[in-house]
Amino acid sequence: MTDRLLRLPAVKELLERAGTAPRRSLGQNFVIDPNTVRRIARLAGIGPGDRVVEIGAGLGSLTVALAATGAEVVAVETDGHLVPLLHEVVGSITADGESGGAAAGPVQVVHADARRMDWEALLPGTGWHLVANLPYNIATSVVLTVLDEVPAVTRLFVMCQREAAERLAAAPGSGAYGAVSVRVAVHADAELAGAVPATVFYPRPEVESALVRIVRRVPSMQPDLRAEVNRLVTAAFAHRRQMLRRTLRSAFDDADRALVAAGVNPTDRPERLGLAEWVRLAEASLATAAES
């Protein structure tokens, strides 16, 4: 079989043969539309020679579309019931398949949980792309972990629940803007890259999906400053409707003075502050700690 971009009949046949079914606990919704996975590979800018890690590879439809570009793919899947099926699907890629006559890139299947695996050992060197249809229940945590702890990944292109996607890419002042938005902005520039209808999934989810493009900035923020920004935004957005002078009292002996020194209005709410303001507040907090 040369076309391994899976459609609904093939997905059902594979699952039935393995005696398994989509698992809600793992957030499994398989893409059954070849045009969608081709679109993801194209919008992610993947091509020959690129190195890609895919989280939640499932049955391998996106995996095959990525490999068809000529990229090297590391496909990570946590469900042991699916790993043999994934091996079967990606093992059938041929040089004259979906790559339009060009040889497909190599695929390494890894049975692992992305929340606990050794990223450094899995992804040697630098310049990796993360491209994935992320399970809804781990999408935000995976993105933040990669940005915080996996500098080898310099570009991310992920599909996730629309609300989560909007939070990842939100700008100050928008309803979706929160601690997650700031934590992403500490490392990278993020933007929404398109909507994905529920009809392209099996089983069909009750929520809409969206694509997010995240590009890491270099050089990165120093770890101590980054950690302090994360601490402050987590505290502030825990009570996002309160003024900063109240939400940050635990961070500063004199919150009003620290806010004014950082050029921030103490009566503002956290969603009004952009990354520059959070960085100034974090610097003030670190300076206060060093003086005490």
By the 8 A CB rule, do 123 and 153 touch? Answer: yes
pLDDT at site 102: 53
- Would you say residue 121 has pLDDT above 90? yes
pLDDT at site 93: 66
Query: Where exactly are the structural domains of the chain?
Result: 8-216, 223-291
The CA-CA-CA angle for residues 131, 163, 34, to 5°, reads 40
Q: Was domain 223-291 assigned CATH 1.10.8.100?
A: yes
Name the least confident of 46-55, 60-69, 281-290: 281-290
Residue 220 vs residue 107, higher pLDDT: 107
| Separation of alpha carbons 188 and 274, rounded Å | 14
By the 8 A CB rule, do 44 and 131 touch? Answer: yes
Taking alpha carbons only, the member of 75, 67, 59, 71 closest to residue 7 is: 59
- For the stretch 263-289, pLDDT in tens is 999 999 999 999 999 999 999 888 877
The three-state secondary structure class of 212 is strand
* Mean pLDDT calculated for residue range 168-179: 96
- For the stretch 67-100, pLDDT in tens is 999 999 999 999 999 999 999 999 876 433 444 4
- Would you say residue 180 has pLDDT above 50? yes
* Mean pLDDT calculated for residue range 214-223: 91
Q: Which residue blocks in 123-222 are alpha helix, DSSP H?
A: 139-149, 162-169, 179-187
Helices (H) and strands (E) in the chain, counts: 12, 9
| Separation of alpha carbons 108 and 176, rounded Å | 36
Out of 3.40.50.150, 3.40.50.1400, 3.30.300.30, 3.40.50.720, select the CATH number for domain 8-216: 3.40.50.150
| Separation of alpha carbons 136 and 22, rounded Å | 13
pLDDT at site 4: 61
Q: Which residue blocks in 94-242 are alpha helix, DSSP H?
A: 119-122, 139-149, 162-169, 179-187, 223-237
pLDDT at site 1: 33
| Separation of alpha carbons 64 and 66, rounded Å | 5
Kind of pairing, strands 209-216 and 188-196? antiparallel
- For the stretch 195-206, pLDDT in tens is 999 999 999 999
Mean pLDDT, the chain, whole residue set: 91
- For the stretch 10-43, pLDDT in tens is 999 999 988 888 888 887 899 999 999 999 999 9
Burial class of residue 195 (count of CB atoms within 10 Å of its CB; 0-12, 13-18, 19+): exposed
Residue 123 vs residue 5, higher pLDDT: 123
- For the stretch 233-255, pLDDT in tens is 999 999 889 999 999 988 787 88
* Mean pLDDT calculated for residue range 142-161: 97
Residue 70 vs residue 220, higher pLDDT: 70
| Separation of alpha carbons 129 and 267, rounded Å | 41
- Would you say residue 168 has pLDDT above 90? yes
Percentage of the residues of the chain whose pLDDT score is greater than 90: 77
Ranges of beta strands (E only) in the chain are 30-31, 51-55, 72-77, 107-111, 128-133, 153-161, 188-196, 201-202, 209-216
* Mean pLDDT calculated for residue range 142-149: 96
